Amino acid sequence: MARKLGELARYLGARLVGDADAEVSALATIQGAGPGTLSFVANPKYQAHLDGTRATAVIITEALLPRCPCNALVVDNPYLAYAKVSHLFDRAPKPAPGVHPSAVVDPGARLGTGVHVGPLAVIEAGAEIGDGAVIGAQCFVGADTRIGAGAVLWPNVTIYHGVTVGQRTIIHAGVVVGADGFGFAPSRGKWEKIAQVGGVVIGDDVEIGALTTIDRGAIGDTVIGNGVILDDQVHIAHNVSVGDYTAMAGKAGISGSTTVGKHCLISGMAGLVGHIDICDNVQISGMTVVSRSITEPGVYTSGTGMEPHASWTKNAARFRQLDAMARRLADLEKRLNQLERPAEDAGE
């Protein structure tokens, strides 16, 4: 995996200050870097580590060049350059085209050219796998589901029938797409199941983290836009729509029929109730309950701050008295106004 710096400079469109023939064979953090590694400084708080770095080369901005003790790849956006170059050092196996003999592929499924189907995968009738797609070991692709060209399913992914996955979309292990939404009609104290006859449509260039669930629509589809990134254990309920390039961190969840705009950032463990609309460019803090629609971009939060349990106990007990406290406060103000008035009158 050794790469010459000259090659990397060309790949990144970077200005190389140093030895074009020097080689790096791994990535490293700026503080942990050793000889033969390539590092980067993107966050100002790590600049102090640049002086003493033992990296063979670093990706930095022009501004940091004077204090750089080693070869430098100079770019405008080091973090983005690091993202691009990182793939050259990835040791993840690259599955070769071909269908493993232990896979169970229905004769009625259509596979594009260069498709990889791993061992013990199941592909049902009517499914279409786009050119160059990777269906990992032990994956399940249901009837009539379409997987886009260049998409990658890591092992053990389950995609139900009638789902569409876009091109180059990456789905991590254990993800379940297209299970029934949580739809039941109450009937004399029991629950009457509603068939979930919609599907799921996932856009291009999406990434879905391990063990995330995206349920199929009750009527019509659940929709994940292009370029959306979902972390692990996210839950997307039926008929939700997530706008392009929105990011959701670990364990966040969206209830049924809610619409989230584009370019939103939903932090970990945040939960959105059903049937609301969130506009573009909204940011939700961690573990926030989003209980109503949001029509203005900005950052939104609920909850309280962490504190030592002993003081928390006292404050939380007072929270239950908060409305009473507010009324007592208003009463005090009224009485104090009354008391002050004679004094003011007297002052006239």
Binding segment toward a second copy, per CB under 8 A, in 17-25, 60-68, 107-115, 180-188: 180-188
* Smallest distance from a second copy to CB 10, Å: 18
Identify the sign of the CA torsion 234, 237, 243, 244: positive
* Smallest distance from a second copy to CB 19, Å: 23
Considering the complex, state which of residue 96 and residue 113 has its C-beta at the smaller distance from a second copy.
Answer: 96
Q: Please tell me the distance from the alpha carbon of residue 283 to that of residue 301, in angstroms, as a whole number.
A: 9
Closest CA to 152 of 116, 126, 120: 116
Could you tell me which residues come within 8 angstroms of residue 38 by beta carbon, excluding any fewer than 6 positions away? 3, 8, 24, 26, 27, 28, 55, 56, 57, 58, 59, 73, 85, 89
Q: Catalytic residue among 116, 172, 235, 238, which?
A: 238
Contact between 145 and a second copy per CB under 8 A: no
Query: How many CB atoms are located within 10 Å of the residue 348 CB?
Result: 4
* Smallest distance from a second copy to CB 297, Å: 11
Q: Among residue numbers 193 through 252, which ones bind a second copy (CB under 8 A)?
A: 193-197, 205, 207, 209-211, 213, 215, 219-220, 227, 229, 231-233, 235, 237, 245, 247, 249-251
- Report the alpha-carbon angle 329-330-332, nearest 5: 65
Per the annotation, the verdict on 238 as an active-site residue is yes
Q: CB–CB of 158/210 below 8 Å? A: no
Say how many residues make up the chain: 348
Count of residues in contact with a second copy, rule CB under 8 A: 134
Task: Pick from 66, 93, 107, 347 the residue near a second copy by CB under 8 A.
Answer: 93
Residues in contact with a second copy, shown as a per-residue x/- string from 29 to 68 under the rule CB under 8 A: x--x------------------------------------
- Report the alpha-carbon angle 202-208-209, nearest 5: 165
Task: Pick from 16, 56, 82, 259 the residue near a second copy by CB under 8 A.
Answer: 82
Active-site residue set: 238
